[in-house]
Amino acid sequence: MKALKISMQFLLVLAVLFLNVQCKGKAENEGTKQTEIANKEPKDSLAISQEDFGKLPTGESIQKYTMTNANGMVVSVINYGGIITNLKVPDKNGKIEDVVLGFDSLEGYLTPAPYFGAIIGRYGNRIAQGKFNLDGTQYTLAQNDGQNHLHGGNKGFDKVVWEITKITNLHSIALQLHYLSEDMEEGYPGNLSTTVTYTLTNDNTLKVSYKATTDKKTIVNLTQHTYFNLSGDFSKDILEHEIAINADTFLPVDETLIPTGEFKAVAGTPFDFKQAKAIGKQINEDNQQLKRGLGYDHCWVLNRVSEDLSLAATAYDPKSGRFMEVKTTEPGIQFYSGNFLDGTLKSKSGGTYAKRSGFCLETQHYPDSPNQEDFPSVVLNPDQTYRSETTFKFSVK
């Protein structure tokens, strides 16, 4: 009897302990969730601040959100176009400078600008003649780049207002941007619910995660259009920056910059960036593709081992020592050497943005994929979720 009583007591103690652990687990989970939603104080010196950045002609207020990490790395984003307006990182002497092209005020972004820092959608890059077919239905998009469609049309994701939520995690901070693109907006079918999350960590990585769902079969190819100049001096061109691209082939283009469909080996051409080399090293060579792009403005076919994040490219500015590593889940990367910048736009530092004062590394599916059977599909069905991720990691060498 006594033995039975003791074991009953023992069981009771065990049960109380078990319930305690369960409740604690639940509270902890809720705690994590609440931290995210309630925007509690950031940990590890990570912080997000917010300020007014002007008003749109419609009267809508535009806000600038600035994320700062423990090393003083800064990433500022506005809710207009999801534009990264500033990205500041240390050089080899610890000097923190802005390394992305952009403007000091909203007005700059409201005048025709070449997609500085913006989220690009619904389709990053070109679609031939602005036309594509889905299940026998032909869709017609804006021809806003000569005869072709470029970067989502006349009012792409770079020109819409995103809803922003600040997120504070234990070891990172993030800005989550959401935009609902309505059925047939800019000619694309389906209501597309799009979320882009910019996450900053203390290892100086900016992660860009994209997610989208649709209620009708459609096409999607999102990217980020930041122009980098790692020197931090926008009066300098980027020709001495050394670039490496993890690709054996690239996609040659026709006169209108639409891929011809050929996968061309980079070996023996100015497009070989398998070993890091200065952008300027071969950019002026007598080469038909360089002439068509007015320099580099092509999509490289990334060497991928899986669909997980894998190395796409690196960029290094020998003078400042700044080094950037780009990883992506995407199959391609558009390397654009800022060929169309022409010195007419005023820079943040007082001068102007001259030809090749910045370069872009836009991770994406290949241009004109909807019209090219051999390219990976960009079709999104209602029962699927589009996901894509790219990281930009900064360090010094």
Catalytic residues: 225, 362
CB 220 within 8 A of CB 192: yes
Give the shortest CB-79-to-ligand BGC separation in angstroms: 21
Start-to-end Cα distance in the chain: 75
Q: Choose the binding region for ligand BGC from 39-47, 199-207, 238-246, 334-342 (rule: CB under 6 A).
A: 334-342
Shortest gap between Cβ of 274 and ligand BGC (angstroms)? 21
Which x/- pattern over 21-50 shows residues binding ligand BGC (rule: CB under 6 A)?
Answer: ------------------------------
Residue 336 Cβ vs ligand BGC, minimum distance, rounded to whole Å: 4
How many angstroms separate the CA atoms of 141 and 171, rounded? 42
3-class secondary structure, 275? coil
H or E element in which residue 24 lies: helix 2-38
Site string for ligand BGC, 110-129 (x = CB under 6 A): ----xx--------------
CB 332 within 8 A of CB 366: yes
Minimal distance, residue 115 CB to ligand BGC, in Å: 5
Decide if residue 218 touches ligand BGC (CB under 6 A).
no
336 binds ligand BGC (CB under 6 A): yes
Would you say 120 or 380 has its CB closer to ligand BGC? 120
Cβ neighbours of residue 245 closer than 8 Å, sequence gap 6 or more: 273, 274, 300, 302, 312, 313, 333, 335
Hey, what amino acid is at 123?
A: Y
Please report whether residue 103 would count as binding ligand BGC according to CB under 6 A: no
Q: Interacting stretch for ligand BGC, rule CB under 6 A, among 66-74, 192-200, 310-318, 333-341?
A: 333-341
Secondary structure (3-state) at 36: helix
d(CA 124, CA 212): 14
Asked if residue 250 binds ligand BGC (CB under 6 A), the reply is: no
DSSP 8-state code for residue 43: S
Determine, following the binding rule CB under 6 A, whether residue 295 of this chain makes contact with ligand BGC.
no
CA distance 198 to 164: 10
Asked if residue 362 binds ligand BGC (CB under 6 A), the reply is yes
Chain residues binding ligand BGC by CB under 6 A are: 114-115, 257, 297, 334, 336, 340, 360, 362
